[in-house]
Amino acid sequence: MKYQKTLQRLLLNDPLRMKALYAVRALQLCDGWIGAGFVRDAVWDYLHGYGQRPVTGDVDVVWFDAERCDSAQDRYLEERLSQQHSSFNWSVKNQARMHQRNEHAPYLSTENALRYWPETATAVAVRIGDTGLIEIIAPWGLDDLFELRLRPTPQFEREKFAIFRHRLVSKRWLERYPLLQLILP
């Protein structure tokens, strides 16, 4: 991936985000990652010259385990994370059940589930791997994220476009990140 090393370096140099990544690694989740705004905002803050800013919003922990699909398991994991690091607003979701909420065929993995997220720049997740390096999954690549292009993923270009539009307005991305290029179908 073209921007992989830059993303790894950004995260490695961000003590707050590394604290969250180590907390999730300690859970030893099956196919476990942190994604969405946790990654996106770090990159867009950097590209806008804002420097390191606190993590705002949810810290989206995504994992995949078809054997433990009960939402109570996610709440238990959120509680464990909150006990360790209460400064983060943890949101844990097993992607093995999220297809039901989204009315899709079952997902095959966390990376497969990310293909169905609303924006290409949001469909990125990271973790600390077994070797201690930051691993990245990005089914739509990292180009849109690093080239400041805000565009919907294919499903959100059509039947779910209203959701994309709502996210655009409610998250105020164009105000917060004025260098963004909005790419609409």
Kindly give the confidence (pLDDT) of every residue in the chain, 185 residues in length, as a single tens digit, with 9 standing for 90 and above. Answer: 789 999 999 999 999 999 999 999 999 999 999 999 999 999 999 999 999 999 988 999 999 999 998 899 999 999 999 999 999 999 999 999 988 777 778 899 999 999 999 999 999 999 999 998 999 999 999 999 999 999 999 989 988 999 999 999 999 999 999 999 999 98
The rounded distance, in Å, linking the Cα atoms of 42 and 132 is 20
Residue 141 is predicted with a pLDDT of: 97
The rounded distance, in Å, linking the Cα atoms of 111 and 81 is 22
CA distances from 79 to 84, 90, 180 (A): 9, 8, 35
* Strand intervals (E) in the chain: 33-35, 58-63, 89-94, 125-128, 134-137, 149-150, 181-182
Residue 170 is predicted with a pLDDT of: 96
Beta bridge partners of residue 60, listed in sequence order:
35, 91
The rounded distance, in Å, linking the Cα atoms of 112 and 108 is 6
| CB-based contact 149:143 (threshold 8 Å) | yes
Residue 69 is predicted with a pLDDT of: 87
Contact residues for 135 (Cβ-Cβ < 8 A; gap 6+): 126, 127, 128, 129
Closest by CA position to 128, among listed 1, 14, 51, 49: 14
Record the pTM: 0.95
